[in-house]
Amino acid sequence: MPMRSLALGLVLMSATTPSLAAEDDTRPLDVRDLVAMDRVGDPQLGADARWLLFDVQQADVAANRSSHGVWVLDRTTAGAAPRRLAEGSQPRWSADGRRIFYLAKAGERMQIYSIAPEGGGARQVTDLPVDVEGFRVSPDGRHLAASLAVFTDCQGDLACTRERLNAREAGKASGRIYDKLFVRHWDAWADGRRNQLFLLALDAAGTAAGAPRLLTRGIEGDVPSRPFGDDSEYVFSPDGGMLYFNARIARHDEPWSTNFDIWRVAIEGGAAPENLTAGNPAWDGYPLVSPDGGTLYYLAMKRPGFEADRFAIMALDLATGARREVAPGWDRSAGALAISSDGSTLYTTADEAGQHPLFAVRAADGMVQRLSGEGTVRGFAPDRDGGVIAAWQDFTHPANLYRVEPGGEPRQLTRFNEARLARLRFGRAEFFRFKGWNGEPVQGYVMTPADFRQGGKYPVAFLIHGGPQGAWTNEFHYRWNPQVYAGAGFAVVAINFHGSTGYSQAFTDAISGDWGGKPLVDLRRGWAAALKKYPFLDAGRACALGASYGGYMVYWMAGKWNAPWKCFVGHDGVFDSRSMYYGTDELWFEEWEHRGPEYGHPQHYERFNPLRHVKDWRVPMLVIHGGLDFRIPDTQGLAAFTALQRRGIPGQFLYFPDENHWVLKPANSILWHDTVLQWMQRWTAPD
């Protein structure tokens, strides 16, 4: 299926970028513009080719909240504008394409509703005594598979779960007893419930009828997984007779295990779920069944305990049990899969050298074709005629929906934020390469300030990404958007050091066990290469900032490479590697990165421990942490601030008691950016 790349992407600058006109009526982007943007995604196509269904998240800054809306676009009417049908999330088509199911509040509980794509009144589909966490519609239109958080010893009796919750709320004692980890995970304390899949029968009117039936009986685990699992982790067979899902059994080793497996359970008959990937002790997930029902596609890692291992695309013949890797020569880690209507082509996304494109993978022989150019695709849906609807974005464009046609040019379908963007000025970016650790090629990018003038010198924001197995990609990010710094008058330098994704699995692997080694070499050489290539960077007025692993690296640089910097900003970073092991939630990460448990390998945790070098700190630092961050507990940030205060180094501590590892509330995002920029401007002001 030949397809051209998306003719969309970043307008790159050169080392001799001309001055940007400032005499027009535009202005640089501000964080208030960022939080006000409509966030478009999750495109869905159904049986009726007329309609495109999607989600839009919109912020209400005054109310300090964001809401999701169900939107449709009539693809058969020229010039038709998208329409918002209802407030709700996770919109999905009914099997016949005549109704849209979605999640919305019914009183205090999240339930499933439905509405016609033409509009009109919404109908409540479920009235359950617990929240609906997510759902899938069966291809035959007879059932819903709903994910509900329940006490597993209630054996599928939802009233039992409700009664226990009510009793807990009415009780006067607040203490809870735990006998195994996860006591808390990401931003929530465990309360004994697990996400489980239930079967809901639909009557002729499309309303849930009868008692929900537990499908994942005997699975002591979360389906979908926590904290970020969704309906990509479970799927019906094409005939609606089977349900496939991934789950990790919650034994005592759950916090240090990545052993997810793919399970299968029959809709009728009451049989126990069957494990289809028991032979692989690493991560198997994201099942997808071919249109003919004969092949199960899924993603699989090879190394137990390593969450950033390469996700390979696997094919399991459901009749014979034979399995194969679809594209063994493709050295990228695939994201969740979709399949063409004829079953010949798989679609996925992956990081690729600073971009996050859409790929087509031929199911028969694994031939991989990149379908999109520069930029990032977050969400896509194959059309019946071989086209793809993609939610595309880049540094200067928030996501909108585009149609990519076989052999044709992409066509923009939605134009959200167009009026806002017309009033804004952006920095211009260029990716560059240099020789990093061991002389190996490393990539980064430089972005001009929004009001760049040829011959000028500009202060610099040196951004350090988290993960650490992540990457700076060409996208319109809502937490770490380089355009906010460009809008405030800073140039931006960002380096995809060893450990970053999108270059090779060996490159990603290189950081494990070497947190303060190769990456620091790359950051130092990348900074030197950027200064040499881009003369508008003012080396004497630069601040380094990062979050998560980036926050760790800020603390590490404070003791090991502080000479170039006027200030640091460390968000949710690791300050003490040894205490971090005993305070975090997901131990598999710490044990892989530091070659085992801390008590067995203390030397690995101590080798690159920022705490050891506090005596060498000298640069002013802003420390930021969230009170609901259970990945890197807030005591890490408080300890770093204590070190600054005790050393007499200028510092501030910005604390968000209601935020997790990320800053999500609109008002908090504004405060975060205002505080960070004021801190950077204070220390990079001309003498």
Q: What is the pLDDT of residues 86-118, one digit of tens each?
A: 999 999 999 999 999 999 999 999 999 999 999
| Residue of 341, 145, 343, 110 lying closest to 231 (CA atoms) | 145
Rounded CA-CA distance 354/375 in Å is 8
pLDDT recorded at residue 609:
98
When pLDDT is averaged across residues 341-350 and rounded to a whole number, the result is: 97
CA distances from 543 to 23, 31, 68, 207, 638 (A): 29, 19, 36, 57, 21
Three-class secondary structure of residue 265 per DSSP? strand
Task: Give the chain's domain count.
Answer: 1
pLDDT for residue 454: 96
Give the chain's radius of gyration (CA, Å).
25
Q: Which of 212, 201, 229, 119 is nearest to 158 (CA)?
A: 212
Query: Quick one: residue 251, left, alpha or beta (phi over 0 = left, psi -120 to 50 = alpha)?
Result: beta
Q: Is residue 309 part of a domain?
A: no
Question: CATH no. for residue 534?
Answer: 3.40.50.1820
pLDDT of 18 > 70? The answer is: no
Taking the alpha carbons of 396, 370, 500, 527 in that order, is the dihedral positive or negative?
Answer: negative
Q: Residue 374 carries which DSSP code? A: S
pLDDT band at 663 (very low <50, low <70, confident <90, very high): very high
Rounded distance, CA 346 to CA 362, Å? Answer: 6
- Single-letter amino acid code for the residue at 636: Q
- Of the chain, the percentage scoring pLDDT greater than 70 comes to 96
Which residues, 6 or more positions from 477, have their beta carbon under 8 angstroms from its beta carbon?
A: none
Mean pLDDT computed over 186-210: 96
Residue 369's pLDDT band, with cuts at 50, 70 and 90, is: very high
Asked if residue 239 belongs to a domain, the reply is no
Helix, strand, coil % in the chain, rounded to nearest 5: 20, 35, 45
Q: Is residue 556 part of a domain?
A: yes
pLDDT band at 9 (very low <50, low <70, confident <90, very high): very low
Asked whether residue 638 is assigned to any structural domain, the reply reads: yes
Q: What is the mean pLDDT of residues 534-549?
A: 98
Q: Check pLDDT > 70 for residue 66.
A: yes
| pLDDT band at residue 406 under the 50/70/90 scheme | low
Residue 282: inside a domain = no
Please report whether residue 299 resides in a domain: no
Peptide bond into 441 cis (omega under 30): no
CA atoms within 13 A on the CB side of 543: 24
Q: What is the pLDDT of residue 21?
A: 42
Mean per-residue pLDDT, 363-374? 95
pLDDT of 619 > 80? The answer is yes
Residue 492, H or E segment: strand 491-496
The answer to whether 514 is a known catalytic residue is no
Q: Is 483 a member of any domain?
A: yes
> Of the residues 143, 397, 604, 661, which is catalytic?
661
Which of these is catalytic: 147, 257, 290, 548?
Answer: 548
Average pLDDT over residues 169-176: 94
Residue scoring higher pLDDT (636 or 13): 636
Distances (CA, A) of 2 to 41, 254, 346, 404: 25, 44, 14, 11
Q: Is residue 674 part of a domain?
A: yes
In SS3 terms, 577-598 reads as: HHHHHHHCCCHHHHHHHCCCCC
What is the residue range of 611's domain? 425-684
Q: Of residues 351, 629, 669, 673, which has the active-site annotation?
A: 629
* Burial status of residue 134 (CB atoms within 10 A of its CB: 0-12, 13-18, 19 or more): buried
Query: How many Å apart are CA 228 and CA 275, to the nearest integer?
Result: 22
Q: Is 548 a catalytic residue?
A: yes
pLDDT at residue 193 greater than cutoff 60: yes
Per residue in 299-340, pLDDT (tens digit) is 999 999 999 999 999 999 999 999 999 999 999 999 999 999
Cα–Cα distance for residue pair 2/344, rounded to 1 Å? 13
pTM to 2 decimals?
0.95
Mean of the per-residue pLDDT values of the chain: 95
Q: Collapsing DSSP states into helix, strand and coil, what is residue 297? A: strand
The answer for residues whose C-beta is within 8 angstroms of residue 102's C-beta and 6 or more apart is: 70, 86, 88, 89, 90, 91, 92, 112, 113, 114, 115
Residues 6 or more apart in contact with residue 650 via CB below 8 angstroms: 620, 621, 644
